[in-house]
Every structure is written in structure tokens, then in C-alpha cells.
Amino acid sequence: MRKTLLIAVAFITCMAARAGEKRDLLQHAASEAELKPLLVTDKSWIPYPAYQDRAGWEKLTEPVREQLIAAGEKYLDYPWRVVKATDYIEYEKSGSRTAMEAPFGANTNALSALVMAELCEGKGRFVDQIVNGVWLFTEMTSWALSAHLPGPQKSNRSLPDDSGHVIDLTAGDMGSFLSWTYYFFKESFDEVNPSISSRLLATLKERILDTYMERDDFWWQAINLKEGGMVNNWNPWCNFNVLTCFMLLEDNPDKLAAGVYRSMRSVDQFINYNHSDGACEEGPSYWGHAAGKLYDYLQLLSYATKNQVTIFDHPIVRNMGEYIAKSYVGNGWVVNFADASAKGGGDMSLIYRYGTAVKSAEMQQFAAYLFERANRKFSISPGRDIFRAMEALTSHDALIAENPALPDFDHAWYNETEFCYMKTDKGLFFAAKGGYNSESHNHNDIGTFSLYADNTPFFIDAGVGTYTRQTFSSERYTIWTMQSGYHNVPKVNGFEQQFGAKYRSADVKFNDSKHEFSLNIGNAYPSQAKIDHWTRSYRLDGGTLYISDRFTLDEAIEPQEVHFLTWAKPDTATPGEVLLVKDGQRMKLVYPSNSFTVETEAIELTDRRLSNVWGGEIHRLILKEKKAAKKGNYKFRIEKLQ
């Protein structure tokens, strides 16, 4: 029998979203003075074979050895690409990030493949090209992306300047990756020319270690975090990379302890910011960068202290992990909000290892399910993250021996983040959200929902297109995917929801026994919408979802609209009904035809980030009042048809 999962009591009224809770779990685990003698300084903490240990590497990489060597062979004659000044500047001119990121990413992929191939083979065949790649990267002025340079640079421009090094996601990734490269190949480099390793070490210390200790103005560090400030996936991601560099490169015990402890203080801010229920407000696509990177950081810290500094037993850490399993719908589809994609599932090895650390059979079995879904094919695509590649290899045997299973629950209620999932034995999976319109990677979407029938999405959240300058600028909400008008919520008196922390849900309730989720979404709209209250309610019963919009307005300025975004093309031929057919599944939306007219809009998807998920188009359904009303209780019904 399925069980009901409640990450709260069964019936609860939620308070407004909060900035965070001062847990400081890592700082409570060890002070800086207590940390110093616990840190292993002789590299014996590293759980992987040394480069010279050929038997160790053959055993470790046995499942993918040929694959990784073949991948590296493709780059033996790779012509290293120059990231030109105009590539950086293009971000300012057109908003394009890819002009700079494409050649940079090509070089990192090449170097990663070469490094993994040489670790597998160990004959020196790839060393010269690795040297070329290392030399290229040490000659680059910065490893930060053009899109990430304007903020922390004095020039506020996208071309690297001389005001100091910037640690962003990719600069951190390169620091971590090149630190492992230095660790494994220092002796090989010295045989070619000692200047290679000495230059690499000096570059890493200057760009990562010294910069991290000298600067506290990187927003992701959250060292000077103001009340209500955001701490998102950048924090554990960057701090994991910094921690890697310190543990592999810093030999001075005092400096090592200071650097590691500074990272602990910073990561505590991320844990503090997150709700105890563990939901990722950025959505499943960002879980691997948020909770997943927190796991990487905590695992590395555990290695570095011989398991003496660990917080894997805290409920919030487990809850943050299990969120990814519970957000999986089926057939590759996941519950997506904000900038997250509706397709994915997650990194099976990462999920398995996280589950092992927090003793979650649910995560371990879900990881095994993803492995089964991949036809039990194990592969490694390390990119810049060599740590995850090596960790995946160490957990390979345990993963393939695990029993596969999807999470078994009827309801998942994240009472603080205000995410609600409900399932029925008729094949429906429902998800809705409250929250506020200033979450990380926010869309204006308070009260929106998604609905799946037998793992097929029908009522959807489109996600986000390819990132450009506009995506993270004052122009963000000119993009249609961010607007509430393209989510499954009303347009009130001609106004859509607004961006900002004050635009939030109220009176949020989840009733397990009635299978009902409701919230007042009136505060998500500007005052000009003249809303006294607008309560959106959902009730799931067997093969039917019931939706109610009960509202009172101070003034009816113009007819109200209720919007629905669908994957299937709507058939509106029958008044009062909208038929949707997709992948052999059929659903019907029933609406009061005496109160509404119906319009449809086909949305052509020219952006590959969207079309790769949904194909060439999705559809918007607009139900418009025939007569403007100050008060109403509109009822809609969505039925799964046989």
C-alpha cells in the first residue's frame, strides 16, 4: 500500500516565506581551533589511486575504461581554441553568452577527456596534450564567464580587467579540476618541464586560495549577508571548488584551517537559507547544483577530516536529498517550477551516494531505478567535475546491486517552501506551489499547477529558454516564460502577477484527508488589480482534478481571465469543454460556458532549450469572463478520459 508523505502536519496554515533559520550546523560541528588538528594534511584522505598505481586505476575504471580512453583519443590532435576579447565583449553587444562560453567549454571538455584517458591508460600518451591545455588555461586572464564578470569587476564590464580575480562557477570549477590535474600529474609535468607545474600551482593559489581569503564581496560567499538576502546554488558549488583547492594545494596547517573554516561559515549560510522541508525552490534541474553540491562539499569535508566533521545525520540534509526523488513523475518527467526543465531525473550516481550518506533507501532505490531506465548502462561524462566522475566510479558496484524502486507516497507536502504534490491510483500526478515572487530563478507563478496523466504532461510549466544577458537583468520579466500570463493562474482586472518578495501567497492550506491544496494568491498581484482576496483551490479525486477560483474585488475594471498552458493542442469545438490528446492519453477541461468564452494561442518554440523538451509548440488556453464581475466562485474540472 502506498504511504502518505507529509513533511509537516496533515493540515496546516503556512506562514509567509522566511529568509532563513540560523542553524550554523557546520560551525557547531567544529570551531576553527577544533578543526585544525582534524584536517589531514598529507593527502592520505584522498580515496582514489595515485596516478602511478596502475592496478588501482584499472580496477577503478574497469566499467568505463575503454570508453574514457576512446573519448580522450578524439582530442590527441585537438586544436586549442582562443577565447578572443570580442567573444567576451559580445555579451555586452548582443546579450549572447555562447560567444565566449562555446570556445571555453570546448577547451575544458577536451582537457577533461584527456585527463581521464591518461588516468585510465597511464602510458603518457596524452600528457603532451594535457600540458598544452594546462598551459593554455594558465595563460588566460580569467576563468570566469563573460556573463559573470561585470558585477565583481571594478570596470563593470564583461571583458576581464586588472581589478582582481573573480571566482564564479566556472573559475571555481577550473580551480578544482586543475588542482586535481596538478595532484595527479605533477611528476609527469616535471619530467617535461618543471615550469609547468610550478606555474600551475602559482596560478591556482593566486586565483583561488588567495582571492577567496582576501575578498568577501562575492555575493555567493554570503559573508556579509543582509537580512532577507538570497543564498542559492552558487554557494555550495563555489565553496566545494574552493575546499577542493585548499585540500589539494595548501600545505600550511594554519592557512588550511583558516580557508576550510571560512568555507564552512559560508556554506552554513546556504543551509540556513534553505527551509527544513528540504525543497529546492529553484526546481529539480538545479538540485544537482544546489543540494547535490552541498552533498559534494560535505563529503569532501568528511574525507578531509577522516569523518570527524560531518552533518549528514541532520534531518534538513536528508530532506534536501530526498526532494529529488519525490519530484520525479515518471518516464523522464519531473515537477518543474522556476527555471527548471520538465525533463531530467538527476545524476543516478550522485543520488545514490547522497542517499547512502544520509541513510535514505528511497534515494538509493530511486538511483537504481534511473540506472534501470538507462538500460543498466554506466557511463562517465566528467566535464570539469572530476570529483563526481571519480566518486561515481567508487560507487559503481553498490549502485548496480541496489534494488530499483520509485518513491512510494500519495502526497508530498513541503509546508515551508509551499510545494504540494498529490498522486492517485488513476494515474494522475498533480503539483502546485505557493511561495513568493522573488525566489531564486523566480517566475511570477504563485498558485500555478502542473498535471500529468500516466506520466504524460498535460497542464505544464514551460520552463526557461537559453540564458542570455536579458535572463538575469531588469528585463527578465519581459520574457514570456517568466510571466504569470504564461502560467496556470488568472489575469485579474488586466494585471498579471508582479516580481518582488512582497508578492506572495497567503492562507496556504493543505488538507490531506480531502486531498485539497488552497491559497490566497491576491497578494501576488499589484494593488491596481483591486483584489480583496482571490483563493485558488485544488482537489484531486481519482481521475479528476477540481479547481476553484473564489474571489472578491474592490472594483471590476475589465473581464477576468483564467489561463492554462498545455502541451497538447486544445480542441474547443464543444462549448464548455476543452479536449486534450497527447501520446495516447486524453483529458478534458470542463468550464462554465455561460460565464466564459475560450481562446487558444499556439506558442512556437524556436529556442532549443524549450523545443528539446516540448517539441515545436505548446499552447495557451484563455478563458475570459463574458461580463466583468466583482465577486465570483468559478469552478473548473479536469478529467482523465478512458
Asked if residue 17 has pLDDT above 90, the reply is no
What is the CB-side half-sphere exposure of residue 497 using CA atoms within 13 A? 37
Looking at the domain that runs over 418-641, which CATH code has it been given? 2.70.98.70
Cα-Cα end-to-end distance for the chain? 24
pLDDT at 227: 85
Specify the pairing of strand 531-541 against strand 328-330.
unpaired
Annotated domain spans of the chain: 61-215, 418-641
Q: Per-residue pLDDT for 7 more than 60?
A: no
How many angstroms separate the Cα of 345 from the Cα of each of 199, 300, 328, 371?
40, 24, 6, 11
Query: What does DSSP assign to residue 554?
Result: S
| pLDDT at residue 6 tops 80 | no
pLDDT bracket for residue 5 (50, 70, 90): very low
| The one-letter amino acid at 213 | M
| pLDDT tens-place string over residues 427-463 | 999 999 999 999 999 999 999 999 999 999 999 999 9
pLDDT in tens, 486-531: 999 999 999 999 999 999 999 999 999 999 999 999 999 999 999 9
Q: Residue 49: its pLDDT value, please?
A: 98
Name the DSSP class of 566. Answer: E
In terms of DSSP H, where are the helices of 381-534?
386-394, 396-401
Residue 140's nearest CA partner among 191, 200, 212, 218 is: 200
Provide mean pLDDT across the span 217-235: 93
